[in-house]
Structure 1
Amino acid sequence: MQSWPQRRDQILFAATTLLSAGGLVLAAGGAGSAADGAWVAATLIGLGYSTATLVAAVRRREASVDVIAWLALAGALAVGEALAGAVVAVMLATGVLLEARAAARARRELSALAARAPRTARRDTAAGPVEVPVAEVVLGDRLLVGSGEIVPVDGRLLGPAVLDESALTGEPLPVERRAGEDVRSGVVNAGGPVRLTATATAEASTYAGVVRLVGQAQAQSAPFVRIADRFAVAFVPLTLLLAAGAWAVAGDPVRAVAVLVVATPCPLLLAAPIAIISGISRAARRGVIVKGGGALERLAAGRVLLFDKTGTLTAGRPALTDVVTPTGGDLSADDVLRLAASLDQSSAHVLAGAIVTAARDRRLPLTSPGDVHERHGHGVEGVVDGRHVRLGKASSIVTGPMPAWMRHARRRAALDGSLTVFAAVDGVPAGVLLLEDQVRPQAPRMVRALRRAGITRVVLITGDHTDTAEAVGRVVGVDAVHADCDPADKLTLVGAEQDRAPTIMVGDGINDAPALAAAGVGVALAARGASASSEAADVVLTVDRLDALADAILIARRCRRIALWSVAIGMGLSGAAMAVAAAGYLTPVAGAVLQEIIDLAAIAIAMTALLPGRSHTVTMPAADLATARRLYAEHQEVRPLVEQVRTVADALNRPPYDLGPVRELLDRLQVRLLAHERAEEAELLPIMARALGGTEATSGLSRTHAEIEHQIGRLRRAVEEPVAQAEAEDVTDVRRLLYGLYAILRLHNAQEEEGAFSLVADVATP
């Protein structure tokens, strides 16, 4: 149902157009008096609307060029140029209607997200699914989501799922999610029925946050900031002086009216808002909510980009990197992971999802735990397959002195900046799970894209320790790193950078809110739920992809540039026409018609903002995309094998030296890893070359593939001679080759994830 403002705009356009057209028909039929009456009526309607807008501007204490339209309408009536007044009224009504339509389009792009908010959920109980209001869902509830249904609250998947996330991300193709992965409310189940554990209430879930953000964006985007008002201070006095001068020189008020008519600033009133609103609309389709035209313009002006680290440049959620077990222990790394993941299926802890996902990736069979008890800050314990399993901190697992293998695992975690989860089985320490918040694969590429878009300085500010922050900064390619920052420090740094150049601050946590509010533009990542940072930000990303920010900046700059061009060209033409009218070569009617032509030219320029512009997004054919995703799934499956290279090397640090595990590892590397690397060489690298424009982009990866195969061959030759008992000198080269191979594999995986597989998450099919 249309609102009154929408109906009012349509009535204004219809009334002025019909009266003006009716006057033309009457004039053609010889009824001159009746025609004048119709044109006067149209002019009066336009004058009334213009008066109302001027009064509103005065109340807001804003300068406005609407005064010129008002003077043109009033002047046309005063000197008896009714037709000119009617044309101006139609021109004004057309501008109002088109601006309203453009604004409505932007609102539709935003409101489409909110309109789908789920209302009910199905709780999975022993008696079967029970439908309840979504507001009654509590943390830990097991929910059932049927095919085609909307996920009602944020949760953690208990099994694999195929989801349509287009409402939040704009990605048209369904995505596959693994058991243990977090899923956001508002996405659609595009596969079979799935079960999940609620990790947030409806009010705290992603979709509720999106609805609030949409409300903020709509409230702050009306009225839209108009570039026109910035010109009013100079343009209005100049127009009035020119009109007065023309009247004084010629002694004819009609000439002054002609100047006012041709100066009616529809290029400013209409063209610029269309371009700005189009930018907001296009950004919304990319999963970026821009809270108003002012925010879009400030985003376009930004030159310094400041990032928080966690959740922005890093994934914000840990991933399992390795499982360390004691040498000669009863349980293998896979056994420990399977027991831990089985227990963690019942936990809502942030690390539990990563452990369950890792077990599913390794295709380990999980079972339902029993007698589960979880204490916040201490850990979780329960019974899995008849064995008592406990997960938590080291102090919860070991009461006495810590074994050497656990101390080694702790040192390794400290060196790598990893998190640790200690596991005990039947009261005996059994393993240490290492987890790491990894740098987003697309982060370095996105930073380069931002620099190409006009960002001149990139700064990392974080509360993390210096060594961790500097490591991330080196990987992504920032200009400066500020570590150990609390919210007050971040606020000070943003202020200092803002004094040098317009800033854009990106963050996702509550502690980022003050800095987001202080920056020229605050950008919040709300893909995993809105927080105080989203409320304080001017721009909110509802997609968990940093490339959306680069696209939003490109959109903002292009639309601002188009808006300025439309204003400059429109006002330049109007200025020339004003000079001609002041010289007496344009009548008011001819001036009104000429101004309509100028308006159309300015609007045509502004409408180009709706066309696709430059983007860093890579386009792939559907077949290439499917192949890349298949290879990425294989890439994920062989990652644990890479970590085993280091684990096997570590086990050779003291006698007795057993080369049997090295030979077993070589067999797995030959069967799984080398086969995968050869498939990448044959299938992935040609896809990359086509997507990125040439084989130069893939030559480094191809060289590393060859080096990996060479090093595995050297390692096999080093251990091919069987010995009953290896001595220290026998394993020196073996350990050196293992550690070297591990380093090469780690670097190669990082390069592949940045250069190739980061494209998989954000490519578009043509």
Structure 2
Amino acid sequence: MFYPNSDRLKSTLLLVAVLGLTLGLLFFAVDRSDAAKLAWQAGVVPVLAALIIEILRSLWRGEVGLDIVAALSMSAALLFGETLAASVVAVMYSGGTFLENFAERRARREMSALLSRVPRTATRHANGTLEDVALENIESGDLILIHQGAVVPADGDIESQHAILDKSALTGESMPVRLGHGEEAMSGSTNAGDAFDLRVRHRAADSTYAGIVRLVEAAQASKAPMARLADRYSMLFLGVTVAISTAAWWLTGDPIRAVAVLVVATPCPLILAVPVALVAGLSRAAHFGVLIKGAKPLEALSTISTLILDKTGTLTDGRPQIVSIETRNGMSEDQLLYFAASLEQASKHPMAQAIVTAARRKGLVLPVPETVAERAGEGVAGTISGREVAVGGVAYVSAAVGVKAAANAVMNAGTAVVALAVDNRIAGYLTMADALRSGTDELIAGLRRLGINRIVLATGDRRAVAETVTEGLGLDAVRADLTPDQKVLLVLTERKTGPVMMVGDGVNDAPALAAADIGVAMGARGAAASAEAADIVLLVDNLERLLPGIEIAKRSRRIALESVFAGIGMSIVGMVAAAFGYLTPVQGALLQELIDVAVILNALRALRIQPQTTQSQGAPKTSEELPSTGETG
């Protein structure tokens, strides 16, 4: 726009233009036409001067914009004595800029809400007391109290028995999430339940929420090529405007018709519609947990035809999970899980933590293990409620109980079996695997419906594991055993047939994310390097958020184009009408303002986009009763 980035200057120029128009109309009403013309001129000159300064700055940068048409219309109106028309154009143009700022502020509302919610202090446990400290003084390992209704200031683990968190500001999930002891809480969530203690994992400056805030700030400062759509067509539109106005003057000998054409051609629809629609799309996508780093990725996202997916942590959960339980000697599944999880509390192995998490999700109350002895990477032995328990690999448990343990579970590629013995008797087996995320079949189908016609898996894992995990998904290709540079080569190869989107979460995915037309990072648990290299960050650990993100991008771009071409079409019709003498300059100015309002309101429809692909979120599960811990057969 033609004003420097000063809200005060924009407001002042609008006020001057309105005051000039109002005073002129008052003078005109009391038959003081000379004074009226002077008042109208006084309201126009400051606006025109600011506009000319901005045009010169743009030309110095090598840019030719449609502000030239607005300057021509005001200058011609003043030159030929149509001071009232010039005053109306000045008011409408400065008012249009003011309206654009209002529209963009509304469009940015949800993203700005992230910034406004940044906490400044935290309540820390210290020597049996609580103290309020500045957020920058919170360190990893600190124990802090999260009050009811407070925003979690840093990533950490729940130290209390449970916590209820509202993630709606980050992910758009409407229902609060119940987290148990030891589970991770994402910074930026709001405590929707009772106060709880949190063990800090990372300093606040390195937390998920701080990273999100930095990404939001970068997104707000960006400008997309499509936002320069007006400039790309500026010379053509300028040529058409000059041609119609010149022809009207030449053929009729009436310069006022040329002035009327220029007034109607004032190009607010082109200048206002695109940024408003795209910024609204960015805001709407953020509401659904999809942070797009600017309007350029938003526009590119709408054209993607090929998708490359990483496996671990992206297509799969990235953490081992229990996929089946096999019991022996009269042990129930809940009892087996109870003993295994109680003992595994003493281990930091990923599979041990997965077993503990599964037990707590079922509501099992786990006692503290005694006389624990761990053999790193093999297993753990100890006492649970007076009973001797061993859990770990089949070979480790076999040696612990002195008998050969043999699981009936089929050892497929990518799976592992954890054996359990209680009182020197085999109690059963837990089959662990990094399983596909739930709803993956529906995700693939949804991507196909949205125009993604080629989907490829790219992983550094073994081919047998990759093929086993993706069996039945209907992917177009599976590429396994890839190094980071080979992933980049795959992206470059696929780009030969169309725009490519790459989705990943690890440090090894960062180069491929940067090489793709659109890189998407799993931001909830992914590496900072991948989030930094990506164009889009999914704020929640849910790959299904890609669907509303793509749909919002497509519909926002379509709304922007509709606004632009509808505005241009209505302006050209008005220009022709003015050329034939059906519109005076004043009427042309009023008509153009109606067009401006129409295209901006149409662009703001992007704020109300409701993706058809969103999934409802379920309520937290209720706890189950503790299983019997009596003797097993």
TM over 0.5: yes
Note the residue ranges of structure 2 that are not aligned, 5 or more in a row.
none
1:424-449 C-alpha deviation (Å, 9 max, x unpaired)? 99999998654322212122222222
SS of aligned partner of 2:205? coil
SS of aligned partner of 2:227? coil
Aligned residue number for residue 101 of structure 1: 102
1:30-69 C-alpha deviation (Å, 9 max, x unpaired)? 1212211222122222212322332343344334212211
Which structure is higher in RCO with an 8 Å CA cutoff and minimum separation 6? 2
Aligned residue number for residue 479 of structure 1: 476
Aligned residue number for residue 128 of structure 2: 127
The answer as to 2:542 corresponding to 1:545 is yes
The answer as to 2:196 corresponding to 1:194 is yes
Aligned residue number for residue 341 of structure 1: 341
CA 316–578 in structure 1, closer or farther in 2 if over 3 Å, else same: same
CA contact (8 A) 2:513 2:533 kept: yes
CA 499–608 in structure 1, closer or farther in 2 if over 3 Å, else same: same
SS of aligned partner of 2:432? strand
Paired letter, 1:366:
L
CA 215–633 in structure 1, closer or farther in 2 if over 3 Å, else same: same
In structure 2, C-alpha distance between the alignment counterparts of 1:633 and 1:432, rounded to whole Å: 26
Aligned residue number for residue 358 of structure 1: 358
Matching of residues 224-243 of structure 1 within 5 Å:
225-243=227-245
In structure 1, C-alpha distance between the alignment counterparts of 2:525 and 2:98, rounded to whole Å: 38
In structure 1, C-alpha distance between the alignment counterparts of 2:383 and 2:210, rounded to whole Å: 37
Of 210, 232, 249, 1:208 maps to: 210
Aligned residue number for residue 414 of structure 2: 417
CA 180–262 in structure 1, closer or farther in 2 if over 3 Å, else same: same
Percent sequence identity over matched residues? 45
CA 606–222 in structure 1, closer or farther in 2 if over 3 Å, else same: closer
1:103-124 C-alpha deviation (Å, 9 max, x unpaired)? 2223332121133233444455
Shift of 1:561: 1.0
Aligned residue number for residue 16 of structure 2: 15
The answer as to 2:314 corresponding to 1:312 is yes
CA contact (8 A) 1:342 1:368 kept: yes
Aligned residue number for residue 85 of structure 2: 84
In structure 1, C-alpha distance between the alignment counterparts of 2:235 and 2:299, rounded to whole Å: 20
SS of aligned partner of 2:206? coil
In structure 2, C-alpha distance between the alignment counterparts of 1:558 and 1:198, rounded to whole Å: 40
Aligned residue number for residue 512 of structure 1: 509
CA contact (8 A) 1:205 1:529 kept: no
Shift of 1:575: 1.5
Of 455, 458, 463, 1:461 maps to: 458
Aligned residue number for residue 46 of structure 2: 45
1:632-668 C-alpha deviation (Å, 9 max, x unpaired)? 769x999x9xxxxxxxxxxxxxxxxxxxx9xx9xxxx
Query: Bigger shift: 416-425 or 358-367?
Result: 416-425
Shift of 1:153: 2.5
CA 386–555 in structure 1, closer or farther in 2 if over 3 Å, else same: same
Shift of 1:279: 1.2
Instruction: Give the number of the structure whose residues are more often helix, by fraction.
Output: 1
SS of aligned partner of 2:6? helix
In structure 1, C-alpha distance between the alignment counterparts of 2:494 and 2:589, rounded to whole Å: 49
- Count, aligned residues: 625
SS of aligned partner of 2:438? coil
In structure 2, C-alpha distance between the alignment counterparts of 1:328 and 1:126, rounded to whole Å: 49
The answer as to 2:596 corresponding to 1:596 is no
CA 345–106 in structure 1, closer or farther in 2 if over 3 Å, else same: farther
CA contact (8 A) 1:199 1:348 kept: no
CA 22–537 in structure 1, closer or farther in 2 if over 3 Å, else same: farther
In structure 2, C-alpha distance between the alignment counterparts of 1:136 and 1:227, rounded to whole Å: 47
CA 513–500 in structure 1, closer or farther in 2 if over 3 Å, else same: same
In structure 1, C-alpha distance between the alignment counterparts of 2:51 and 2:244, rounded to whole Å: 22
SS of aligned partner of 2:614? coil
Aligned residue number for residue 498 of structure 1: 495
Shift of 1:252: 4.7
1:582-619 C-alpha deviation (Å, 9 max, x unpaired)? 34544322322222233233234323333344522356
Shift of 1:526: 0.9
CA 84–371 in structure 1, closer or farther in 2 if over 3 Å, else same: farther
Of 159, 162, 177, 1:160 maps to: 162
Paired letter, 1:555:
I
In structure 2, C-alpha distance between the alignment counterparts of 1:132 and 1:317, rounded to whole Å: 35
Aligned residue number for residue 149 of structure 2: 148
Of 149, 170, 174, 2:172 maps to: 170
Paired letter, 1:168:
L
Paired letter, 2:585:
P
Aligned residue number for residue 258 of structure 1: 260
The answer as to 2:536 corresponding to 1:560 is no
In structure 2, C-alpha distance between the alignment counterparts of 1:201 and 1:390, rounded to whole Å: 37
CA 368–539 in structure 1, closer or farther in 2 if over 3 Å, else same: same
In structure 1, C-alpha distance between the alignment counterparts of 2:386 and 2:205, rounded to whole Å: 39
CA 401–362 in structure 1, closer or farther in 2 if over 3 Å, else same: closer
Shift of 1:340: 5.0
Matching of residues 576-725 of structure 1 within 5 Å:
576-617=573-614, 629=619
TM-score relative to the length of structure 2? 0.86
SS of aligned partner of 1:506? strand
Of 420, 440, 444, 2:441 maps to: 444
1:75-129 C-alpha deviation (Å, 9 max, x unpaired)? 2222222222212212211221122122222333212113323344445567355
Shift of 1:177: 2.2
In structure 2, C-alpha distance between the alignment counterparts of 1:498 and 1:528, rounded to whole Å: 28
The answer as to 2:29 corresponding to 1:28 is yes
Shift of 1:564: 0.9
Of 273, 289, 292, 1:290 maps to: 292
Superposed CA RMSD in Å reads: 3.9
Matching of residues 274-285 of structure 1 within 5 Å:
274-285=276-287
In structure 2, C-alpha distance between the alignment counterparts of 1:388 and 1:135, rounded to whole Å: 46
Paired letter, 2:557:
R
SS of aligned partner of 2:81? coil
Paired letter, 1:153:
A
In structure 2, C-alpha distance between the alignment counterparts of 1:519 and 1:114, rounded to whole Å: 29
Shift of 1:571: 0.7
Paired letter, 1:565:
E
CA 412–67 in structure 1, closer or farther in 2 if over 3 Å, else same: same
Query: Bigger shift: 133-142 or 272-281?
Result: 133-142
In structure 2, C-alpha distance between the alignment counterparts of 1:391 and 1:125, rounded to whole Å: 37
Paired letter, 2:554:
R
In structure 1, C-alpha distance between the alignment counterparts of 2:71 and 2:99, rounded to whole Å: 19
SS of aligned partner of 1:203? helix
Paired letter, 1:470:
E
Paired letter, 1:5:
S
Aligned residue number for residue 728 of structure 1: none
Shift of 1:559: 1.7
CA 41–208 in structure 1, closer or farther in 2 if over 3 Å, else same: same
CA 266–133 in structure 1, closer or farther in 2 if over 3 Å, else same: closer
In structure 2, C-alpha distance between the alignment counterparts of 1:231 and 1:361, rounded to whole Å: 58
Aligned residue number for residue 183 of structure 2: 181
CA contact (8 A) 1:23 1:35 kept: yes
Aligned residue number for residue 671 of structure 1: none
CA 440–47 in structure 1, closer or farther in 2 if over 3 Å, else same: same
Shift of 1:315: 2.1
CA contact (8 A) 2:389 2:422 kept: yes
In structure 1, C-alpha distance between the alignment counterparts of 2:520 and 2:381, rounded to whole Å: 40
In structure 2, C-alpha distance between the alignment counterparts of 1:596 and 1:418, rounded to whole Å: 66
